[in-house]
Structure formats: C-alpha cells, structure tokens
Amino acid sequence: MAKKTIDQVDVAGKTVLMRVDFNVPLDDDQTISDDRRIRMAMPSITSVVDRGGRLVLMSHLGRPKGEGDDAKFSLAPAATRLSKILGKPVAFASDTVGDDATSKAKALKDGDVLVLENLRFNAGEKKGDKDFAGKLAALADVYCNDAFGTCHRSDASMVAVPEAMSSKPRVVGHLVAKEIAYLSDTISNASRPFVAILGGAKVSDKINVINNLLGICDAVMIGGAMAYTFSMAKGGKVGNSLVEEDKVALAKELIAKGGDKLLLPIDSHCGDDFKADCNKQVVEDGEIPDGWQGLDIGPKTSAKFADVLKNAKTIVWNGPMGVFEMPPFDAGTKAVAQAVADSDATSIIGGGDSAAAVEQLGFAEQVSHVSTGGGASLAMLEGKAFAAVDLLDEA
C-alpha cells in the first residue's frame, strides 16, 4: 500500500493543502492541555515550510453541533501553539472556505503557514459535500493527508477534496505513511508467531477485528470486560461483571471458530464495587460470586499471556486488560505491557485506551509503534479498505 509522500513532491512556490489531526484537548479557558497531535504533524509541516512551500492546514476539533457554543471548538488555540512550536508567525483564518480563508491563502508567501477554522463548523465536512470540497481544493496545488485518526471516515476533507484535486499531486504525510507501514504492511507480511491482544469493554466493538485476526494470527488473547461475555458463553458465573448478553451466542461462535488460537482468561481479579478501595479477590474464570464484578485479568492469566508473548515475532495490541486507570486493577495491563516491551517482536499498539495505557505506564518508548488513531487502527485491523488513502498517488 505504498503511497507517494510529501517529501517526494516539489513544493517550492506551491500551496499545499494538508489535512492534519489537531483535535487537541482544550480546558475551559481554551488552553491546550496536550499538544502531542500538533507535535506529531511537525515532520510533515516542516517538510513543506523548509522547502519553500506555502502551507494551508485544515482539521476538525471536537463535535460542534452549531448550537451557539461553537467558539469553544475553535482551532485558534492550535494555530497559536503551532506558531510557538515552529518559532514563526502562523496565520489563522476565521472560516474554512469564506473570504477570510481565501484571501489569507492567496496572500501566503513561500514558507508561510495558515490554519483554517474548524472544518466541522461547515455542515459540508461531515456530509462529504462536493461543493464544499471544491472550494477547499481550489486553495491549493498539492493535497497531503497526514490525519490518520480520520482515515477511516468519508468526510469531505478526507475523500471529496482529494477527488476534486485528481489532476494535482495527492500524497501522504509522515504520520500516515508510518501508520500504513506498521498497521497495513507489517500485518500483511507478519513475522511469526503473530499474536494479537484484544481488550476493552465490548465484544460488539471488536467482532470484525476478532474474526479477521483469528484468520491471520497464531494466537488471539482476550482481556478486558469483553472477556466476561466469553465467560458467560462458556456457562461461567460472572456476577455483576459488564457483559453483553445479546452477544453471548456470537461469543460461542468465536470460541468454536478460534479453537486453540483463542486464548481466554483463566482467572479474574474482582471487586465488590467499582472503586479502588473496594474489597478484592482473585477467582478462577467463571466463578465470580454474586455481587462481585471482574475488573482485571488475574495473575495466572497475566503469566500465561506473558509466556506466549515471550516468543512472538509480531504483536498487535488493542484495548486494556482491565480498569487500568484504577490501581490495583491496572496489574493485568501492566504485566502485558511489560511482556510486550520485553519481547523482540515488532509491536504495534492500537490507538485509544491501549495507547493511553502504554503512555501512562511508561512503555511507549519500548514498543515499535503506538498508533495515533483508535477507530482508524481498529478499522485497519478489520482489514477494511480506506478510500481516503486508496485514492492517493502510488509511490
């Protein structure tokens, strides 16, 4: 799936329209509390700026509904933070395709940067509107997609804009190129044993991923709350654990399909309440008492999973093993993270909670790749095609 990158296009004197993911968290004072997403776009941004290109950046932020509180979703703070990181002025347009954006884009000189206002302030973005996309496309000579977190979506900026720029260069940025290299190319040519670790709350969120990975992996480990739906499918007692009763039949099918490949927990760390200072006990799988709930995989499961991971050559992990935000129910996630970090495998951590867990537990530097897109990485693990990437220029 190799795509032409921004580095392979001559940008001197040209305007580049780059889709980035500046969906950063803002506090009540409109202050950015974590600018990691802006910093991760820097290699692509500097590639254009340093080579004399004129850069127009577009992104969404949050989920504005047009109910009068849109100002709290403005990208103005992101433009200010980018200016600080770049060490040079960054222009900001108060609209996306209106007079301000158009005039400021035309006024750009070589090496200049402009940030457009939140794409989602225009209803055409989520609708994939071709008229809106055409106006964005008219701003530039080159299109660059460096927003992996939205690559699985069909928003105008992801699909209709590059479609409208079919006669112009359409490339990926550094971030998307790296995600493709790990999530698509590594998985399709995985060194074996290839092991997947899937956690999180809901089987329903991961059905297609489990199905796809059972077909291509040597082992698929299940942890997190969704393990209790599997436990119930085997006839076990799950107490007050979080289960999806309407997915029990499906869990039975996956158990039958997975056979020895599907590795389920053999014990569980339980609490009599959902809080850190509750009463706790470790029980065998399927033996959670009434009034208790499973909040983490147990120590025997952690040891079993770690033993399998020791020999793995490729590891994909999406979803924590328990309530990792609440010690001591972070023990299972911590043990699995340690085993992944200690292995010689190419290790890929899906976005969302698993990325947060690896960061929080301090293992981010010891794995091969931490994905920036939760939903996008899941969609790629399902084997889905991404129109937003497929239509870009081949390398």
Task: Please list the active-site residues.
Answer: 37, 202, 352, 375
Q: Determine if residue 205 is labeled as part of a ligand binding site.
A: no
Q: Determine if residue 37 is labeled as part of a ligand binding site.
A: yes
Q: Determine if residue 29 is labeled as part of a ligand binding site.
A: no
Q: Determine if residue 120 is labeled as part of a ligand binding site.
A: yes
Q: Determine if residue 81 is labeled as part of a ligand binding site.
A: no
Q: Determine if residue 51 is labeled as part of a ligand binding site.
A: no
Q: Determine if residue 121 is labeled as part of a ligand binding site.
A: no
Q: Determine if residue 194 is labeled as part of a ligand binding site.
A: no
Q: Determine if residue 264 is labeled as part of a ligand binding site.
A: no
Strands 237-238 vs 219-222: parallel, antiparallel or unpaired: unpaired
Q: Determine if residue 61 is labeled as part of a ligand binding site.
A: yes
Q: Determine if residue 242 is labeled as part of a ligand binding site.
A: no
Write out the binding residues.
21-23, 37, 60-63, 120, 153, 206, 294, 325, 351-354
Write out the binding residues for (2R)-3-phosphoglycerate.
37, 120, 153
Write out the binding residues for ATP.
206, 294, 325, 351-354
Write out the binding residues for substrate.
21-23, 37, 60-63, 120, 153
